[in-house]
């Protein structure tokens, strides 16, 4: 039971809690909150959520867990294509794929290690990976990545669906 509970924490509950906190703003609606604090809080909440999801996956299944699975002999992208409905459509519409998860790794590394700067990541292809992935809620200004999850665009939803798909790829979720 603890395994399923841990999965649900990242699979839905933290996403929902952080989205609520972003929208609620402690009840504040003033200009300072709306224009200064909320964008920073929104980006930080997304980064924390992403780092947590990636850490969970790496801790449970190993590094780059979408590259191979002892449960499934197919590639991650083939696994997504062969999912039963409605999972197949949900993952496909969201854009869940190996390239998208590789972009998440780049974003996570930039946020946690390089002050949001993709160009400072060890992987010199990160800018191209993140740009080509076209993940909702990801914007790039120069080489600085910013994340959004709000009522119109939800980066954390993409991260959550990737988390669920990788877990299912390993026979969990």
Residue 4 has a pLDDT of 63
The pLDDT assigned to 13 comes to 85
pLDDT in tens, 123-140: 999 999 999 999 999 999
In the prediction, which pLDDT does 124 show? 97
Amino acid 29: pLDDT: 87
Is 42 within 8 Å of 148 (Cβ atoms)?
yes
Residues of the chain with pLDDT under 50: 1-2
Mean pLDDT of the chain: 93
- List, as one string, the DSSP characters of 4-21: HHHHHIIIIIHHHHHHHH
Q: What is the pLDDT of residue 11?
A: 76
Q: What is the 3-state secondary structure (H, E, C) of 129-149?
A: HHHHHCCCCEEEECCEEEECE
- The confidence score (pLDDT) of residue 5 equals 67
Q: Which of 20, 86, 83 is nearest to 49 (CA)?
A: 20
């Amino acid at each position: 039971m603890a395994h399923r509970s841990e999965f649900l924490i990242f699979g839905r509950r933290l996403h929902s809690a952080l989205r609520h906190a972003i929208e609620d703003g402690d009840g504040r609606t003033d200009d300072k909150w709306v224009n200064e604090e909320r964008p920073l809080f929104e980006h930080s909440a997304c980064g924390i959520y992403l780092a947590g999801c990636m850490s969970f996956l790496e801790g449970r299944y190993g590094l780059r867990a979408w590259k191979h699975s002892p449960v499934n002999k197919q590639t991650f992208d083939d696994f997504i294509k062969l999912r039963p409905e409605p999972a197949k459509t949900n993952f496909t519409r969201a854009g869940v794929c190996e390239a998208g998860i590789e972009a998440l790794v780049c974003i996570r590394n930039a946020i946690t290690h390089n002050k949001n700067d993709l160009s400072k990541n060890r992987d010199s292809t990160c800018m191209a990976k993140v740009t080509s992935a076209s993940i909702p809620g990801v914007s790039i200004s120069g080489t600085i990545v910013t994340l959004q999850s709000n009522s119109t665009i939800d980066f954390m939803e993409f991260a959550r669906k990737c988390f669920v798909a990788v877990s299912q790829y390993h026979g969990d979720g």
